[in-house]
Copies of this chain bind each other. A is one copy, B any other.
């Protein structure tokens, strides 16, 4: 092989920044979506140490053919400071996962985790309107999901986190978005709810636990787990056994990728540089 056909001097560069970085899936997935849409672009992984974050990122943003950045653990909060302008979701959540280069060296940041979750439900024909939702986890993913769901007009949103203060804060934030929502802190339950969302890390990788202490889940509840590895968490296995509809982290990721690439396109188009 003399030359590869997927990178050249004309390639527009995007990067996901995290620490560690080996586990991320955005390089293969976001690159695929950009290529599918006809862009000469690639998203590469960059492993940046926390102590280097501010300096390295400010320098990277000056690279002329770098058009967008994606942030993962532990940088989603700190990355807000890099944006010239923050989107509505990011302002509520206090974190971003996408930063797009716009005109005149301006950078636009927003967070798409929650929008990806709502998009995954929409693709399955499920609306959050008037639903009673139980959300477990009020960390980065949980905050983003709560913010996006709150904009969909649910009847109730019950939030739990092992750090009670985090959940209480998120309850407050949800009320600010829509005061009509019955928002409350509460232990995980499977009664009196229509949708169960896990946004906690419980069940990730080789963790054999469930984020909720239940032997059964009522059949009519729709169960979502944000966890991507493994695809089949113990929670989803129980939900499947109980006849519940399940929606997976991978579906949220697909929804999110689509929204993130839309966002890059919108801002890059303004500077007419991304399109091949």
Residue from B13, B26, B62 within 8 A of A56 (CB atoms): B62
**Contact (A7, B29) CB under 8 Å given A47-B63, A47-B65, A55-B59:** no
Q: Is A4 an interface residue (CB 8 A)?
A: yes
State the copy count for this chain. 2
Stretch at the interface among A37-45, A149-157, A207-215: A37-45
Contacts of A13 in B (CB 8 A): 44-46
What residue of chain B has the Cβ atom nearest to residue A45's Cβ?
A: B9
Query: A7 and B21: CB pair below 8 A?
Result: no
Q: Is the CB of A52 within 8 A of B47?
A: no
For chain A, the bracket of interface size reads: 35 or more
Contacts of A64 in B (CB 8 A): 19, 21, 47-49
Q: A43-B7, A45-B8 are in contact. Are A2 and B32 (CB under 8 A)?
A: yes
How far in angstroms is the closest Cβ of chain B from A120? 15
Instruction: Tell whether A10 is near chain B: CB-to-CB under 8 Å.
Output: yes
Q: Which residue of B lies closest to A12 (CB)?
A: B45
The answer to whether B6 and A4 have CB atoms under 8 Å apart is yes
How far is B6's CA from A27's CA once the two chains are assembled, in angstroms? 9
Contact present for A28 and B8 (CB under 8 Å) = yes
The reply to whether the CB of A60 lies closer than 8 angstroms to some CB of chain B is yes
